[in-house]
Amino acid sequence: MRTCSIFKSITVAIIGFGVVSATHAEGTYPQNAIKFIVPSAAGGSPDVLSRVIANAMAKDLGQSIVVENKPGAAGNIGIMQIKNAPNDGYTVGYGNINTLSVNQALFKNLPYDVNNDLAPIGQMFSLYNVLIVPDQSPAQSIDDLVKSAQENPGKLSYGASGVGTTGHMGGELFKSLAKIDTLFVPYNSGPAALQDLIGGRLDYMFSNSSEAIPLIKSGKVRPLGVSSVKRLDLLPKTPTVSEAGITGYETVAWGGIVAPAGTPPEVINRLNKSLQAALNDEDVKKSLATFGADASYSTPTDFKALIDSEAKKWASIIEDAGIKKLD
């Protein structure tokens, strides 16, 4: 009887140790460095803003976060890297309006399923576009630009850094609401499009605020409106596009963090809490603001709702504009 009792005690002790060890392991995540994949080139807004936030999260988590740039195929290459990574919480990455929402309707055969291959962690920031024209443009307002387009159907052109980007989608939304016919010219990068705009080879474009503001300050381009619902602090005299007469216009170049599907809920929650702490940091907010971005924390559930609502919105615009789907 005594032997049996001792055996039971040892068994209970072993089981108890296992439970304590498992709980301890969960509670101490992360124990190694975390890889953070950005599906675009180094130096762009997604890369710079992600690094600001990742550095703050690393301090909170007590482990380094290593950013790796995986550009190409409208962000699909980087998202595939996230999708195919082990779902242990040690590989996460950047997902935005393009890769998580627009691409769902833009590609014939998207190589990943946003709903089944990825787990949302939370939104990081909101970034806005600025409607700009060359400094030599006769358009002094959005009304001037719209009138010119109406008087010259099919002759005015605008550019953006690729099909499906917010510069492109925002331009199509603008055309739809303003009821104008203009030509879209896709470029391989934002700087290339901006150079043609400055040179007068494009009539206007919706440019990321972080790229547009330095050119505005130098006098090379003129801002006519911003894509947000309220004026930007960095451009207080520039009206919103909606305020300037294109009622209901809004384009937000949001970005957030996703993980491979199947990542444990406790890991998702830990990363989300770290994200919240980072976005509450005043230094982080100031850093984001220098690029015209707002800290925009959300829970995983709210981030998923944003992804779904934006996918529906842009799918409708792609269909209405007759944009050809990509292979």
Reported as a single tens digit per residue, the pLDDT across 75-88 is: 999 999 999 999 99
* 116 & 37 share domain: yes
* 145 & 205 share domain: yes
pLDDT in tens, 257-290: 999 999 999 999 999 999 999 999 999 999 999 8
> CA 92, CA 61: separation in Å to the nearest integer?
14
Q: What is the side-by-side order of every strand in the sheet holding 34-38?
A: 65-69, 34-38, 91-96, 255-260, 118-127, 293-295
pLDDT of 1 > 50? The answer is no
* 133 & 121 share domain: no
Domains in the chain, number? 2
Mean pLDDT value of segment 118-128: 97
Residue 192 structural domain: 129-226
235: in domain: no
Strands 129-134 and 91-96: unpaired
Give the range among 182-186, 208-212, 251-255 with minimum mean pLDDT: 208-212
Tell me the CATH number at 160: 3.40.190.10
13: in domain: no
pTM (predicted TM-score): 0.85
Looking at the chain, the whole-number percentage of residues with pLDDT higher than 70 is 92
The average confidence (pLDDT) of the chain is 91
Q: What is the side-by-side order of every strand in the sheet holding 129-134?
A: 183-186, 157-160, 204-208, 129-134, 221-226
Q: Which of 191, 226, 261 is the last residue of a domain?
A: 226
pLDDT value for 13: 39
80: in domain: yes
Which two three-digit tokens encode residue 264?
A: 């444990």
Give the range among 23-27, 163-167, 173-177 with minimum mean pLDDT: 23-27
> CA 240, CA 243: separation in Å to the nearest integer?
5
* 219 & 135 share domain: yes
pLDDT of 96 > 80? The answer is yes
* 156 & 208 share domain: yes
Tell me the CATH number at 78: 3.40.190.150
> By C-alpha distance, which of 254, 233, 261 is closest to 297?
254
* 114 & 143 share domain: no
* 181 & 106 share domain: no
- Give the position of tokens 């850093």: 287
Q: 67: pLDDT confidence band, cut at 50, 70 and 90? A: very high
Three-state secondary structure call for residue 92: strand
> CA 194, CA 203: separation in Å to the nearest integer?
11
* 61 & 145 share domain: no
Mean pLDDT value of segment 103-113: 95
Q: Which of 192, 226, 260 is the last residue of a domain?
A: 226
Which two three-digit tokens encode residue 252?
A: 């937000």
* 257 & 121 share domain: yes
Phi, psi of 291 (to 5 degrees): -100, 10
Q: Are 64 and 33 in contact (CB under 8 A)?
A: yes
* 148 & 173 share domain: yes
Q: 47: pLDDT confidence band, cut at 50, 70 and 90? A: very high
Q: Are 127 and 253 in contact (CB under 8 A)?
A: yes
- Give the position of tokens 């787990």: 119
Q: Which residues contact 66 (CB under 8 A, 6 or more apart)?
A: 33, 34, 35, 36
283: in domain: yes
Mean pLDDT value of segment 21-34: 68
Phi, psi of 220 (to 5 degrees): -80, -25
Q: 18: pLDDT confidence band, cut at 50, 70 and 90? A: very low
pLDDT value for 5: 43
* 135 & 218 share domain: yes
* 111 & 138 share domain: no
73: in domain: yes
98: in domain: yes
Which two three-digit tokens encode residue 278?
A: 């980072």
Give Cα 199 distance to the centre of its chain.
29
17: in domain: no
93: in domain: yes
pLDDT value for 203: 98
